[in-house]
Structure 1
């Protein structure tokens, strides 16, 4: 039995990297275009399944769907090591992967999946293609993207509209958890069956279970029991605990007949959230931001509040500076004697040790006279920047305004500036200024 190996080159430019997944029909490998660097998905049909021609059918369907942006783009098809191989562009991870990663999906995310999937189904139905195997594993998404993709057309069918539905019973086709009632009854599926399966997918993504989940463990009559429950259960019971939109959707789909062309636009409109005037919605795994009028207005209000806060801060600095100027001679006095140098060095060492030990506050109270120290002890603990404003008479007002603006923008820059400009500046320059006055 032939198998693809890591490092195999297909079509001279596609290199096999590693196994991604496998199922009953074959295996999927991650590969790479060695010329462009683009990641690709390499699908290989099992040799024992080649008589079913599933990969050949999928290739023909993808050729017919060429030009639809949210289905796989066929890059290469042929035989390699006696294996039927199909190569498409790598489109991301399936919804089960994201569901396990995010634990659950938001309503906005599920509604966006619904809208995009209805649009994808509309596009492939226009080409008379019925997917017949809708499930979360066949819906892909990726980060930094606001689109999802529908893959795996291995059991899809080129549907030709007929006047009446065939009564001949056919084998079950699809996945039992999400298959339509028609599929369980062994009848030919139509466009409405894809939409019905999508409804089951959406409910599962929301609740992570379906009413027939317990039957899936049964081995003997699993298909019959699940099909019978789907046939008997009412939409209200299936959608219990779900938003009203899902019930509306399932009700409208149930009213469609076999040959009827669905009103896709009407179905999509069910999931359009009109609250907060949202222009579009995002996926939970995407980094795209919401864009809506309310958000834009909130951003404007936040900007205005920030500007007002900066204005208030500037006014606070100016007011503090004016007060300091009026009481400069009364609040700050200097005593220079023979022990001044040793006293300064002792206090400098103590304050430096405190500032290196914590970035949350910087002590700058060394300039106060005895009366100022006693007055300060009666006050509540000041913030770092308030202490800097009250005790600094030497730094120019322009520099103080600039420092305050930096504080509003970046906390880390504030701490660094306070450390270097407040501690060292205030320790050294006051005495240098006094000594220069004394010399003059």
Structure 2
């Protein structure tokens, strides 16, 4: 197959950037609209597959599905250098990419995928389109989006409108890992077959394997072996180790007949989380985080532990300093640092009520001035709670650890050098001025 070259212009405004992927039907390139900078996906059909009319079929189906928000928007199609080209909006990365990046998906994330996919299938089924190739690689998402997209309608077709299923055997169509039993038997697929394939996708996303995964290594009779196992296994066995909701879903789908219109709303409700358990459902790859009552409680516990840690350091410093030198009290703020300037020294000198108490604050934050203004309104613990909205817990813990180490170093330098050995004591001059 002739490849597109980087910088090549298609349709007078779509520039080729690089190759993204390739499959049995063709290749997909990343491109850009030179007029508005929008990223696009450029799909090129292999010349040897042109007789299958796969790309032409996909173009016609996308025209029928125009207006459905979670399927690709067709931007341009036609011939370029003697082969068929189709250009759509760039919709992100597939679920396998995010699964490898996140190691695994949360139940909430998988349930949200299920609900959105059922809605997408309902919308395309209303247009009498059966996808016939549902798999994680054909479900895309963006890192900052709360929507998923269904792509690759190259082997999709209009649903059969006859009341009886055609018994004539047809070649296997789909991906063996996720294809329905009907597809393995060589029969025409209907709405229920897309829903069955979705069930296998959900199981794979949860367990990262399927009961027939070991059969995929067989080359000659892989499709037959996997199809036979799917036919013989009960939903309980296929869904072993999965949440009850997935079993309920597969059981309902298995009860549908060939031409029955599924109750999509009922299927979506299976994966609906309880209202009192959540504030909202999002994807694991989103910047936001799933929030529930347990998460909030865990955050409060972590904040309390950090608060107690700071209080412990302050108390330890005060006790140690008062034990060895009664005229000096070290007060270490939670935002302590390793230096103070002459203006801060002057402010400390002016704050003395008597020469028996010296307060030392180590300031290292632009927010310290604001925090001092709010100290009469907010407790230290409340301040931690507010800061959590800005900085993630992981980063706060790392910062706290560094600050604790910094406090320990400063305490050793100030205490042991100034008090035990009494050379170059930074407070000697201040004390003498105050006494005089």
TM-score (norm 1): 0.73
For residues 292-343 of structure 1, the C-alpha deviation after alignment (integer angstroms, 9 at most, x for no partner) is 46656877x679969x989x99x99xxx8xxx9xxxxx9439xxxxxxxxxx
| Equivalent residue for 2:327, pick from 326, 332, 337 | 332
Give 1:252-271 correspondences, 5 Å limit: 252-271=252-271
Report the CA distance between 1:165 and its aligned residue. Answer: 1.7
Moved more, 107-116 or 402-411: 402-411
Encode CA deviations 1:11-44: one digit per residue, 9 max, x unaligned.
2221111111111110001111222222111100
Q: 1:393 aligns with which of 350, 353, 357?
A: 357
CA RMSD of aligned residues (A): 4.2
Deviation at 1:285, TM superposition (A): 2.0
In the alignment, structure 1 residue 145 sits paired with structure 2 residue 125: no
Distance 1:437 1:279 in 2: 58
Distance of aligned partners of 1:264 and 1:429 in 2 relative to their CA distance in 1, 3 Å threshold: same
Aligned to 2:125: 125
* Aligned twin of 2:332: none
Task: For residue 217 of structure 1, report the CA deviation from its aligned partner.
Answer: 2.0
Distance of aligned partners of 1:304 and 1:25 in 2 relative to their CA distance in 1, 3 Å threshold? closer
Q: Tell me, in whole angstroms, the C-alpha distance in 2 between the residues paired with 1:12 and 1:392.
A: 82
Corresponding residue for 1:107? 107
Q: What is residue 47 of structure 1 aligned with on the other side?
A: 47
Residues 393, 60 of structure 1: alpha-carbon distance in 2 compared, 3 angstrom cutoff: same
Counterpart-to-counterpart distance in 2, 1:433 and 1:134: 77
Change in Cα spacing, 1:158 to 1:394, as seen in structure 2 (3 Å) is same
CA offsets, 1:236-274, max 9 Å, x none? 111122221111111110100011110111111111222
CA distance 1:435–1:172, shift in 2 (3 Å): closer
Q: Which residue of 1 aligns with 2:286?
A: 286
Larger radius of gyration: 1
Aligned residues: 377
Q: Distance in 1 between matches of 2:427 and 2:177?
A: 80
* Offset from partner CA, 1:389-415 (integer Å, 9 cap, x none): xx9823499x99949969977757895
Q: Residues 161 and 432 (structure 1 numbering): CA distance in 2 closer, same or farther, change over 3 Å?
A: same
Alignment of 1:337-416 (within 5 A): 393-395=357-359, 402=372
- Give CA-to-partner distance per residue, 1:202-261, whole Å, 9 cap, x none: 112222222222222222222222222222221111112222111111111010001111
Equivalent position of 1:64 in the other structure: 64
Deviations, residues 165-222 of structure 1 (Å, cap 9, x unaligned)? 2222222111111111111111111000000111111112222222222222222222
Query: Which structure 2 residues correspond to residues 170-181 of structure 1 after superposition, within 5 A?
Result: 170-181=170-181
* Cα gap change, 1:435 to 1:29, in 2 (>3 Å): same
Name the CA distance, whole Å, in 2 between partners of 1:392 and 1:11.
83
Aligned pairs (5 A) from 1:174-253: 174-253=174-253
Tell me, yes or no, if the aligned pair for 1:146 and 1:288 is still in contact at 8 Å. Answer: no
1:261–1:36 CA distance, 2 compared to 1 (3 A) = same
Q: Which runs of 5+ in 1 are unaligned?
A: 325-329, 334-358, 363-390
Distance in 1 (alpha carbons) for counterparts of 2:326 and 2:213: 79
Instruction: Give the TM-score normalised by structure 2.
Output: 0.74
**Gapped regions of structure 2 (runs ≥ 5):** 329-335, 340-354, 388-398, 419-423
Query: Among residues 428, 433, 436, which one is paired with 1:431 in the alignment?
Result: 428
State the Cα distance separating 1:437 from its structure 2 match.
6.0
Deviations 1:75-104, CA, capped at 9 Å, x for gaps: 111111112111111111111222222222
The SS at the match of 1:280 is: coil
Is the contact between residue 337 and residue 403 of structure 2 (CA under 8 Å) also seen in structure 1?
A: no
CA separation in 1, counterparts of 2:84 and 2:285? 34
User: Which secondary structure state, in structure 2, belongs to the residue aligned with residue 32 of structure 1?
Assistant: strand
Closer/same/farther in 2, CA of residues 148 and 434 from structure 1, 3 Å limit: closer
Structure 1 pair 187–7 and aligned structure 2 pair: CA distance change class (3 A): same
* Contact 1:77–1:85 (8 Å) recurs in 2: yes
